[in-house]
A and B are shown apart, each in its own frame.
Chain A
Amino acid sequence: MIWFFLLSGLFLGWSLGANDAANIFGTAVGSRMVSFRVAALIASIFVVLGAVIGGAGATGTLGALGAVNAIAGSFTVALTAGITVAWKSHSGLPVSTSQAIVGAIIGWNFFTGSPTGHATLVQIMSAWVISPLLAAGFAIVLYLGARWWLARRRIHLLSLDAYTRLGLIVVGAAGAYILGANNIANVMGVFVPASPFDELRFGSVIRITGAEQLFLLGGVAIAIGIYTDSRRVMATVGSQIFKLTPILALIVVLAHTLALFVFTSQGLQHALHAIGLPAPPLVPVSSTQAIIGAILGIALVKRGKGIQYGTLGRVAVGWIMTPIMAGLLSFVLLFFVQNVFEQKVVDRPPATATSRH
């Protein structure tokens, strides 16, 4: 039964793999700089590594937003997010898994009467605004730097092509790692409080926690999504909002990776704390939003020529509608799961003697 409940998380992971890997390798594959086979292999390996090694930070924050503590509740929340992502991506627009899962968790909070961590919600929503802006800032700096450097280095077109290919693979691998580390919280975060796995020990050194086993499972689901359904998205991504050349694609993916790194890295957080600087919160941010922010950053430097404003407007409306839709759908589905299928969607602690008075 537990495995059945986990299926919704795996479905969400599959959706994320199909859509968000295209953000990282879409232009490289679409422009035939990197073959789909190479892109899928690299993205799959590094997404799984990122999920298992670095997935803990953002998951903690998602738990603080609303601790979905019954496996049927987790199932419904993940299923809601998966349906929202599949539905929105079917309409051909970039969609954020982070927004879908946060909307679904808030729907669970409302349905079960659980408190919503307002401070965390504000943190997450701020990150949604800041991450595309940050990615745009990174993209502008990287673009201007690259333009200046290329004008001075006089690299042969063929060498530049070879360096760009290598760059797309290396930055794509880093992007996939960060995507796994940041977005695994969306896929498996809601199952962590109700994790069915016990800690595994191999000797006295290797220890795999229940959460890490969940993340590994989610990472594999993302990898399957990459292999089975990202090819179509990869072939079309990159020109929806602004036509990207391979060099611009490299800059965009690097800016996206840096923006996600800021909201994912526990090491960066500790380093900033150590020198007395305010550290960004570790929250799951939207890979899609970061990519779009980076693309817009470059488009702005190029004075907005070639931006598809119609598509951009629909994307912006989608950003607002996704969490609202996910929240409402989550509420409705939880009602059905609890009252029609008679599953426990929330595990309430037993009331204490004091609270009876």
Chain B
Amino acid sequence: MTILFRQTHELEAETDEYLDLIIQGGLLYRQGVKCYLEHRFEEFEARLLELRSVEQRGDTLRRSIESKLYLQTLIPESRGDVLGLLESADEVLNLITSTLLHFSTEHPELPDNLNPLFFDLADNAIASVEAMVGGCRAYFRDLSAVRDHISRAQGLREEVNRLAETYVRAIFKLDLHLSHKSQLRYFVAHTERIAEDADDVCDRLAIAAIKRYV
């Protein structure tokens, strides 16, 4: 029986590994932002390097999973949904990477007094990504749990929106140059988009889960 379904189990392991990479990417982003806020720039760059390698591995793995799903004509009824989920989840990982990369290239000066708020924002954005990954895992193994993960991701996205608004209001009250304020707003918007993209994946997930109910 194990030999008969060996290829299937291998593909399951690859899918799990791919979702693990997104979680890992989120953790690296969180640690990277923390290092940056604490002015530990060497550690920050190390995290970024690792994140970029995770993102590349994620791309390779996603392509491998997608080609296997096509070539072996697996899950014909759900293939479109699964491919869509994998691709949109990959976009979230890409966004996480590019956001952290922007910190490295632009080196924005974040006001120290607002650092706890910014970290809270980044932390919640990554928590929403983790909820999204939980939802994806549940879609594959435990449909009844999908809704819980989606609700959590939606709640976290709302929290991210609230924190982003608070942060933007706070920076525009500071005595900073307008271009500086705009740059900071840009970083906030990028971080906010991580949670919003994760929420979009969850919307897709909700429809895909309904289609899978027997």
Contacts and interface: CB of A to CB of B under 8 A. Distances in A.
B82 A157 contact: yes
Contacts of B214: 143, 146-147, 150, 245, 247-248
Contacts of A246: 76-77
Give the secondary structure class of B's interface: helix
A157 B75 contact: yes
B105 interface: no
A245 B8 CA distance: 20
Contacts of A154: 141-142
B142 A159 contact: no
A33 B143 CA distance: 22
Contact of A162 (B8, B15, B77, B140): B8
A235 to B, nearest CB: 13
Contacts of A151: 143-144
Contact of B12 (A31, A32, A156): A156
Interface size class, chain A:
20 to 34
B113 interface: no
B11 A32 contact: no
Nearest to A155: B141
Contact of B8 (A31, A33, A158): A158
Contacts of B139: 157
A156 B139 CA distance: 9
Contacts of B143: 151
B76 A162 contact: no
B140 A157 contact: yes
Nearest to A35: B73
B166 interface: no
Give the secondary structure class of A's interface: helix
B9 A159 contact: yes
Interface string A136-165: 000000010011001100111111011000
Interface in A151-183: 151, 154-159, 161-162, 166
A30 B73 CA distance: 13
Contact of B73 (A32, A143, A150, A157): A32
Nearest to A33: B76
Interface string B68-86: 0000011111100010000
A158 B144 contact: no
Contacts of A159: 5, 8-9, 12
B212 interface: yes
Chain B CB within 10 Å — which of A154, A159, A161, A166 has the most? A161
Contacts of A31: 76-77
A162 B142 contact: no
A155 B9 CA distance: 11
Interface string A227-271: 000000000000000000111100000000000000000000000
A33 B139 CA distance: 20
Nearest to B213: A147
A131 to B, nearest CB: 25
B38 to A, nearest CB: 41
A151 B9 CA distance: 20
Interface string A20-40: 000000000001110000000
A81 B12 CA distance: 51
B66 to A, nearest CB: 13
A215 B5 CA distance: 38
A154 B214 CA distance: 13
Nearest to A146: B214
A143 B213 CA distance: 12
Chain B CB within 10 Å — which of A150, A158, A248 has the most? A158
Interface string B130-157: 0000000001111110000000000000
B16 to A, nearest CB: 9
Nearest to B78: A157
Nearest to B137: A156
7 contacts: A146-B214, A154-B142, A156-B12, A156-B140, A159-B5, A159-B8, A246-B77
Q: Sort A-B residue pairs by CB-CB distance and give the 9 closest, nearest first.
A: A162-B8, A32-B76, A161-B75, A157-B140, A154-B142, A154-B141, A156-B12, A158-B8, A158-B12
Given A157-B75, A158-B11, 19 more contacts: A31-B76, A31-B77, A32-B73, A33-B76, A146-B214, A147-B214, A150-B214, A151-B144, A154-B141, A157-B78, A157-B212, A158-B74, A158-B75, A159-B8, A159-B12, A161-B75, A166-B4, A246-B77, A247-B214
